[in-house]
Chains A and B, each alone.
Chain A
Amino acid sequence: MEFIKSETHFDFVGMMKMAVTCSLAVIIVGIASVIFHGGLNLGIDFAGGTLIQVKLKNDVPVENIRKALEPLGFERSIIQQFGPQEILIRTAELSANLNDLSGNINTAFDASLGKDAYDVRRVEVVGPKVGKDLTQKAIFAIIFSWIGILIYVGIRFEFRYALGGIIALVHDVLVAMTALSLTGKEFDLNIVAALLTIVGFSINDTIVIFDRIRENTRKNIRMTLFDCINLSVNQTLSRTILTSLTVFIVLLVLFFFGGAVIHDFAFTLLVGVLVGTYSTVFIASPIVLLFEKIKPSKAKGK
């Protein structure tokens, strides 16, 4: 079986202007959405606060849950459905007495819901100090991994390729964050892991094409870089589609069957894989060309 029977000759580089316009538009929408929502919807990992996950025997109206939380001072929590008969209670409040929180939760729920009607499955409390720390560490981890990629690609290829790759993956992360902001998903440590996966996937995809471009420029010295890039993207097209499709299948399964905790993670990755594939074809390679126009490389000048 083959998705793409014979050699294709799409003019991907010619579509560059349109692609860049599209991407910019999406990113601007994303920034607008973040501003409109008053920043990202930060989870307790970064903002600090308390999260309680409760499984209920029977359906309980949200109002009753809210009432049950009153003695804890958590009545202004965000209460959301989290899978069947399971709820997630989130609040920016920190219990004054961390030591007795689990005990207090049990007392409060015993009184209002009945002793065996619920099961507290997860309690997470993150103090503001730790939240700040985790944010800092996550940002450091991402930036350092980018620098690492920049250096490696810069050594193995050329610096302009490294820049093209980095711009493409920053693009992917921004678009994924746009999707997160538009859907109102919570931004927590798991999502950071997802964004990092997108980075890995995107750079993987980009390098495959860069590798082809490198090979083709050596083989056909007379060919312009414009044609060379087009040829390379077309030659690797079937591989790009095939790989993205398989990863997409795996992620779809995780999205539907992976359970509530993995759900948002998989969602972010689904967006990331789509965008990553798009950016590889339409953003990364043309950027290499753009740098070529600004400053022609010596190797091609011969």
Chain B
Amino acid sequence: MAIVSRGFRGRPRAGGDRLPPGQYLVEDFPVLSAGPTPRVPADRWEFAIDTEAGETRRWSWEEFMALPQERPAVDIHCVTKWSKLDTHWEGVSLDVLFEDVESAAEYALVHSYGGYTTNLPVEDLLDGKAWIVHRYDGEELAPVHGGPARLLVPHLYFWKSAKWVRGIRLLNEDWPGFWESAGYHEYGDPWREQRYEGD
């Protein structure tokens, strides 16, 4: 005999098994901001990867746009508890950007125009798990959502998907980013509810 009958499961939550614990669904796209919105014209934009050996690989906007483009459709989860399903983006896989980068570093510190930073393991940027995106829902990415380009790492809480991304510094030691040094979790897995330091 089943100890817990199916009747005790209640109504399934909207979003079903795609909604991590503690999250609720939104249809709009909330904007959270830790500072003024940078306005970076494409002709002044560049993206760079700095290695632990001090080498730098740079892309201008034109060079970046000439790279193979992908169209990830993903669910995103904000640490402030909203989740949005089936978001559509266009951009370049980090696997493509790392192709010519020689590095054995385990840690990445992502930095943005405007000074924002966030840290994550390099392995979370590779193998089809992360992109630099410049279009959302068929349109150019708006500055309030991180345009001209933002990082997209949908398997981690969305503060890791740095808006206005400018570059990635590869490091041998983990270095906490903007929110990670002010109480938020260093990794931020929504499925393990890693919201705050120590979760």
State whether these chains interact.
Answer: no
